[in-house]
Structure 1
Amino acid sequence: MESLFGDLFDDLESKSARFADVILPVPIPKMFTYKIPKSLEGEVGIGFRVMVQFGSKKVLTGIIGKVHQKPPKEYEAKPILDVLDSYAMVNPLQIKFWSWMAEYYCCHIGEVMNAALPAGLKLSSESKIQLNPTFDTETSPYPLDEREEVILQALASKSELSYDECEQLLGIKSIHGIIKSLVIKEAIIVFEQVKDKYTPKVESRIRFSQPFVEDRKSLETLFDELSAKPKQEEILLKYLQEVPIYQRPELNVKGLDKRIFADAGLSMSSLKTLIKNGVLEEYKLIISRFEEIQGNDEEVTLSEEQNRAIEEIKSSFQEKQVNLLHGITGSGKTEIYIKLIEEAIASGSQVLLLLPEIALTTQIVSRLQKVFGSKMGIYHSKFSDNERVEVWNGVISGKFSFVVGVRSSIFLPFDSLGLIIVDEEHESSYKQFEPSPRFHARDAAIMLSWLHQAKTLLGSATPSFESYFNARIKKYGYVQLLNRYGDASLPEFLISDILVDKKKQLLKLDFTRLMREKIQEALNNQEQVLIFQNRRGYAPYISCEDCGWIPECEHCDVSLTYHQYSEEMRCHYCGFKEKIPKVCPACGSGKLSAVGLGTERIEESLSLLFPEARIARMDLDTTRSKYGYQRILEDFGAGNVDVLVGTQMITKGLDFDRVTVVGILDADRILYFPDFRAGERAFQQITQVAGRAGRREKRGVVIIQSRKPDHFLFDQVIKGDYKGFYLQDMAERQKFFYPPFVKLIKVSCRHKDYKLAEKAARHLHNLLLEVQVKKIMLGPEKGLIGKIKNQYIFETLVKLDKSGNAQAIFKHELRRILESMYANKEFRSVRIIIDVDPY
């Protein structure tokens, strides 16, 4: 394994070192060597953030990956401009991890660094302008227009202006043309002001000056003096009410948040006077952006089966680094996680719990916070840049010994990981598609665990076939939970035939009679309903009833999704949107109708069928805000919502007592998707969403609407026969060479010119054919979606033999071939994307 990392860490930091290899956030396959100035020699080391010049104009944040005494041969090393921190923000284990990721996923270490560091730890540069000291309006041969003179007059009274300030000054949207003209006329100089993005949260606090705290009589005298000034007296009384310094004078050190006085409606000018007269003093305090939460010491009550599972997991960890916990929905996997996390933290180790969706963090996080309090950090993309930097720093400082997060949390600066738990390990959300590195968080977590000599627990009710395969061949340990926690019953499954109801005219607003009856029954009993449809929007598309016209995206080969609420059609790939036409642009007909089902349309249909029901929708459109997920789930949990309609967000991890009915509206759409994993994912999604029903005393009901109710998959879902479905599907995969029997690599060529994209793909395909390893190659073919964001896509799929060193050889040759492609002028503008484990 060590060979993966080359000689990146052969040299230890040396006091006499004069050069540093710096990782920069650029897509170039190497580190860059910079000279360490004598003034900084004692301040740098591996993992330190530094500011360096890259090229003639750019200033970038880099991370030192190696310190040595060898000057570069190809170029003269530039000096490091500055060291940004007094301690390393990245540790050597992280750099090893980045190096492995770059090699395994065929990308560059700079791209990994760019994905790993929160934006708040990267420098930003802001373009500014200043007067050219050699410029003289009288002697200049260039005439100035009115707007240029306004800029120069402003610079005469202010030493510098940002581009934004110039735009506001002139009241225009783009200033670049005017700036360019002034530069040509040598009237101004453009420069970059580099600044650190992260800013700590600062609170203004008020406290009594020390003499008044130490001498009670002086405080009494002060009140006598202020008797004629009631506004100042009110402020002092408010302070003493909140901070009883007579009884506990030590509380004065911390003081009181200044905003408390404003919120109470007290006079801010009087407060200012008291500060000016030395009665009160104002000071700044850096505070956490996260609320302090006290964890409790309550024992988590475990069932006999859960205790058995924990003992089996710990026993298996003696021999295996990775364990698969296969527990049916509602079997109590979270309680097992809590017990294992507690034990790992008690041993002095750090713990990472990975979740696939931000939606999951809302309910599980509040549950975990009750146990772990503020020693638990949370890390996901809805957090601001500053909040993510605080979590990063909290891991370094030891404030957070346990972190719950989505896939990006594998990049946090852990230095003593003891346990990684990957919940819902089968989830496709763990795969990063854009931009590079296109990693899978579950697989990367296993490697991260190996680097730390830690253990990994994969948890799922419907494990990925790869993980289950590894468990069956004894590569992973395997522990099973067969019963629901608290002896709750598994739900009853009912299949409802859409076509039969349609023929009998019993289908109303896309709901079969059986589905309507069961929803009404739940509503009558004051119970809750979940409706699952993995498609947001009102309908997949609109169509002309007369000529069949369907609106398509101008930039992608997809139809536009109809969103009724915003009265527009949107592309879910590039974001293009346009208003709904009144008449068909192709034939002029006014007969435009919505085709298919989206969550928005289902929400509307439910409100017509059940006008008394309180209905909410949970999809990407309704959860864009930071606390969008939390608000909807809190309403549902509090009983303020009767029916929740949602996409895959509602299929996993959610635990509500009163949900007794789950409806799956269009199971066929999941089942017949053109992907070798379609059956696996259909089984997983149906089982997972069904698991939200009847998690307490009353048995739940799951209604599946389908046009093919006799499909063998439904029978196996109803029986809960995961193993039977696995064996049947794996026989197909082995026959046609799909994972886990081969390793897949997808190579895509993208360009705005169709012919050039196709030509590049064919040329690249032919070069890959020459690589002497055991493989099967499919393509090049036009992508499933042939154009995205005005770029045509051609793909080659490579199936590599898993035995021996076929992967290492192929990836090495692939890098060499890509270099030759980019060296070819004809193909230099073609974007080539490598996706390892693409599905």
Structure 2
Amino acid sequence: MKADDKEYIYVDVALPVALFMTFTYKIPVSYINHLENKELIGRRVLVPFRNLGLTGIITGFAENKDLKSIREIYQIPDKKPVWSEDYIQILKNISEYYVSPIGTTIYYAMPEGLRWKLNRKTGNWIKGISEEKIYRPAVVTLSDIPHLSEKARKLLEFILEKGEVDRNQVKEAGFSLNTLKTLIKKGLVQEERFIFREEKSVKQPEIKYQSINLKSGIYLYKNQTAQNRLKQYIKLGLSVIKNGESLLIILPNIATIQKIYPELKKIFGERVFIYHDAITEKEKIKIWFSLKETSKKIVLGTYSALFIPIKNLKAIIIEEEYSQAYKADRTPRFDARRVAFEIFRVKKDISLIYASTVPSVESIYMLYTKKAKSLSRKDIFKNINKKPEISLKSFSYKDLKKELIKAIKPEEKNLIIVNRKGYASFLYCPVCEEEIKCERCDIPLKIHSTAEQKYLQCEICEKRYPYIKTCPECEHKLEEIGFGIEKVGKILKEKFGDNVSIDPEKNASITITTSVTSRDFVFGIYDRIINIYPDFFLNIPDFRGEESFFRSIALPYFKVSSKYIIFTNHPEHIAFEALDKKDFSIFYKYELQNRKLTDMPPYSKLILLTFEKKGLELDKVKQIFQEWIKKEKISSIEYEGPFFAIFSKVREKNRFQILMRNFKEKEKLKELYNLCSKKNIKLIIDVDPRQTY
């Protein structure tokens, strides 16, 4: 919209506040006339809000008004809009789908460096520009590390738990950057930084790949090795660049980006761009506007790269599409897979590819119902040169050390998959039949071990407790139940010393990890893989437990050349039949039948409501929920609950949940949110939850 001879233009602005609305502001026409680019929708504006100064995004035009109550913007800080109009529509769709305030949805979709705030004392805008790096553990466990302060030890535990973190995550978790520097100096944590340059006119290397064209639509790329998929992405990239378009590849973590970036760089040179949360904010902003203005690019990114309005975008690939890394664990709780679908739905003329070696049940369902087409023409099992021998062994905690050492061949390349974190699962009293729990969160405390001592720690609030040997109630001897990567790491270090590593890049004879999932490109091929008790996934109180179990045993099969040993107490499970017969459809048909019988996704749409407050009681949640149903005149609703959440107490706050099925009036959930806010109850609305606990 161009400015006319009126005094003001009135605009709707989305602000980062927990309200389901936009706010009207006015912009002087004289201000707009001085702008080189006069597009307003998608622009960032700095505005007054109550007694604050906030960054907002213009989402539309309001009716012309002349009211004294409507405030004027402070400033339009950018030369061009952050988003194009079609992306503003995409963000609106995401906001509506996830019942998330439009302001917070848009705020968290843009780079942190664009989220300015006004410093009321100085009158200056805090621009949030910072240098970002990525940090990874350089050790397997804490077992053999003496002389660490408690803060340093807790931070190292945190980094081991996450696998990779950036500085924001370190600060948000309550740790000091000085403590992080201490760990780096001691060689316990590795620091990495990514440097990018602007595109230059350079001679591209000779291309040996043939390009492929792909019509618009939704596709599933399954049962292929990661390297085979990468070859196809290169062909697709050549095609889109030849046509003056761009390709976006979304990956579950930065480690995977690191792995495939050099391969793409060889082919596409300076046309390859990387975008993720560990690069500097200044670089992020530069990349953002560069991709918005120029095409013929290959973009590798994590979750956040989906929100970049890439010019002439032709195809989106969601790699390792089953990964839980794609579901945000903070509000707004949107999912990268759905965001990609909304982009596809609005743009219409692009291709959307969901890809993985062992795809999600939902993706297979899309294939069976012809909502997606298959890109896999060959049976991968026929292309494996050397089929590994599969051996199922009975598992017992008592014999774990002996059987594990016997199974390893140090002269070969071994991968040990532990499936559990920490040292052991928990302490258990066989007399009281109770676990030792966190007094704040009411969940079993995980056992950890260091060179100096064992201790207990809550996985939710991270409070540490001293290790105890007898039950505080009956004084009976407690039992250690379960095992984790720390215990297995200690066993292997004692026997094999420096041949044991947590880093697959070190090429050690024995590599130890908790999981191969979400790191398909990171792990190469091993002579021997030992998978310890994947049965753990069958005990998870979630409808995706069996799917996780199947993936945990199936994915390593593609990584082993000689011997695949699985310690399990469920050899009769249908997942092993599917693996043995090399026919994954056996499991998928079984699982889809179960999902249909229990009315779980993909046969239903779920919304998980979580109510949190200190001292909150079950009856109060029932009362609020029934009050909302009556007030909103909801006649048709299917739900379970309220019930205690699996983690029924977190940081002294009681938690209750309600699981809703196929609720079509999501708009009315906004009123439930407002009702809870008035009573100081935190309500988390999780549409399409990845877990139901």
Do both share a fold (TM > 0.5)? yes
Is residue 658 of structure 2 the alignment partner of residue 796 of structure 1?
Answer: yes
3-state SS of the aligned residue for 2:64? coil
Distance 1:409 1:793 in 2: 33
Distance 1:583 1:723 in 2: 48
3-state SS of the aligned residue for 2:547? helix
Distance 1:373 1:726 in 2: 40
Select 2:346's aligned residue among 444, 451, 460.
451
In structure 2, the residue matched to 1:838 is 689
In structure 1, the residue matched to 2:456 is 569
Is residue 482 of structure 2 the alignment partner of residue 596 of structure 1?
Answer: yes
Distance 1:723 1:581 in 2: 46
Shift of 1:300: 5.1
Larger RCO, structures 1/2 (Cα 8 Å, 6+ apart):
2
Distance 1:39 1:797 in 2: 53
Distance 2:66 2:436 in 1: 57
How far does the alpha carbon of each residue in 1:128-168 deviate from its partner, in whole angstroms, 9 at most, with x for none? 4xxxxxxxxxxxxxxxxxxxxxxxxxxxxxxxxxxxxxxxx
In structure 2, the residue matched to 1:407 is 303
* 1:708–1:69 distance in 2 versus 1, CA, 3 Å: closer
Is residue 634 of structure 2 the alignment partner of residue 634 of structure 1?
Answer: no
Distance 1:386 1:569 in 2: 41
In structure 1, the residue matched to 2:27 is 36
Q: Match for 2:340: what amino acid?
A: A
1:25-174 matches, within 5 Å, as: 25-42=16-33, 43=35, 45-55=40-50, 57-71=51-65, 76-126=69-119, 128=121
How far does the alpha carbon of each residue in 1:631-659 deviate from its partner, in whole angstroms, 9 at most, with x for none? x3432xxx3x2222112356642366651
* 1:718–1:300 distance in 2 versus 1, CA, 3 Å: farther
How far does the alpha carbon of each residue in 1:554-612 deviate from its partner, in whole angstroms, 9 at most, with x for none? 432222223323855333223x232534665827979676432111211111122x325
Distance 2:616 2:676 in 1: 18
Alpha-carbon contact 2:288-2:308 (below 8 Å) kept: yes
In structure 2, the residue matched to 1:754 is 616
Q: Which runs of 5+ in 1 are unaligned?
A: 1-11, 129-190, 202-287, 618-631, 695-699, 801-805
Select 1:540's aligned residue among 425, 429, 433.
425
* 1:653–1:13 distance in 2 versus 1, CA, 3 Å: farther
Distance 1:548 1:470 in 2: 44
Alpha-carbon contact 2:504-2:522 (below 8 Å) kept: no
Q: Match for 1:53: what amino acid?
A: P
Select 2:624's aligned residue among 747, 763, 788.
763
Shift of 1:766: 6.1
In structure 2, the residue matched to 1:290 is 196
Q: Match for 2:437: what amino acid?
A: E
Distance 1:474 1:548 in 2: 50
1:138-537 matches, within 5 Å, as: 191-198=122-129, 289-290=195-196, 297-299=205-207, 314=214, 317=215, 321-329=217-225, 332-398=228-294, 401-434=297-330, 436-452=331-347, 453-480=349-376, 481-483=378-380, 487-499=384-396, 507-509=399-401, 512=403, 515-520=404-409, 523-524=410-411, 527-537=412-422
Q: Match for 1:706: what amino acid?
A: T
Shift of 1:428: 2.3
Is residue 501 of structure 2 the alignment partner of residue 616 of structure 1?
Answer: yes
Distance 1:687 1:733 in 2: 20
* 1:496–1:645 distance in 2 versus 1, CA, 3 Å: same
Shift of 1:837: 0.5
Shift of 1:326: 1.9
Distance 2:471 2:103 in 1: 48
In structure 2, the residue matched to 1:811 is 666
Distance 2:283 2:267 in 1: 22
Distance 1:537 1:72 in 2: 63
Q: Match for 1:54: what amino acid?
A: F
Distance 2:345 2:261 in 1: 26
In structure 2, the residue matched to 1:148 is none
Alpha-carbon contact 2:295-2:312 (below 8 Å) kept: no
Distance 2:669 2:298 in 1: 39
Shift of 1:68: 4.7
3-state SS of the aligned residue for 1:604? helix
* 1:813–1:70 distance in 2 versus 1, CA, 3 Å: same
How far does the alpha carbon of each residue in 1:433-464 deviate from its partner, in whole angstroms, 9 at most, with x for none? 21x22112112202112222311011122221
The worse-fitting range, judged by mean Cα deviation, of 484-493 and 291-300 is: 291-300
Q: Which runs of 5+ in 2 are unaligned?
A: 133-193
In structure 1, the residue matched to 2:521 is 654
Shift of 1:422: 1.1
* 1:495–1:585 distance in 2 versus 1, CA, 3 Å: closer
In structure 2, the residue matched to 1:701 is 563
Shift of 1:660: 1.3
* 1:642–1:589 distance in 2 versus 1, CA, 3 Å: farther
Identity of aligned residues (%): 26
Alpha-carbon contact 1:764-1:821 (below 8 Å) kept: no
Distance 2:115 2:226 in 1: 42
3-state SS of the aligned residue for 2:367? helix
Q: Match for 1:831: what amino acid?
A: K
3-state SS of the aligned residue for 1:717? helix
Shift of 1:758: 4.3
In structure 2, the residue matched to 1:21 is 12
Shift of 1:296: 5.5
How far does the alpha carbon of each residue in 1:350-388 deviate from its partner, in whole angstroms, 9 at most, with x for none? 211011233322212232222223322222233343343
The worse-fitting range, judged by mean Cα deviation, of 321-330 and 679-688 is: 321-330
Alpha-carbon contact 1:749-1:761 (below 8 Å) kept: no
Q: How many positions carry a matched residue from both structures?
A: 616
How far does the alpha carbon of each residue in 1:384-443 deviate from its partner, in whole angstroms, 9 at most, with x for none? 433433332332343882211122221113242110011111222221221x22112112
The runs of 4+ residues in structure 1 deviating greater than 6 Å are: 292-295, 544-549, 587-593
Alpha-carbon contact 1:40-1:83 (below 8 Å) kept: no
3-state SS of the aligned residue for 1:18? strand
TM-score (norm 1): 0.68
Distance 2:382 2:259 in 1: 18
How far does the alpha carbon of each residue in 1:24-45 deviate from its partner, in whole angstroms, 9 at most, with x for none? 1111111111111344222362
Q: Match for 1:48: what amino acid?
A: R
Shift of 1:545: 8.6
Alpha-carbon contact 2:131-2:281 (below 8 Å) kept: no
1:681-700 matches, within 5 Å, as: 681-694=548-561, 700=562
Is residue 521 of structure 2 the alignment partner of residue 669 of structure 1?
Answer: no
3-state SS of the aligned residue for 1:333? helix
Q: Match for 2:56: what amino acid?
A: G
Shift of 1:771: 5.8
3-state SS of the aligned residue for 1:335? helix
How far does the alpha carbon of each residue in 1:58-86 deviate from its partner, in whole angstroms, 9 at most, with x for none? 1111112224552287x711111111112
Determine which structure has more spread, i.e. the larger CA radius of gyration.
1
Shift of 1:548: 7.6
3-state SS of the aligned residue for 1:495? strand
Is residue 607 of structure 2 the alignment partner of residue 745 of structure 1?
Answer: yes
3-state SS of the aligned residue for 1:645? strand
Alpha-carbon contact 2:110-2:307 (below 8 Å) kept: yes
3-state SS of the aligned residue for 1:729? helix
The worse-fitting range, judged by mean Cα deviation, of 705-714 and 544-553 is: 544-553
How far does the alpha carbon of each residue in 1:269-308 deviate from its partner, in whole angstroms, 9 at most, with x for none? xxxxxxxxxxxxxxxxxxx942579796354568xxxx9x
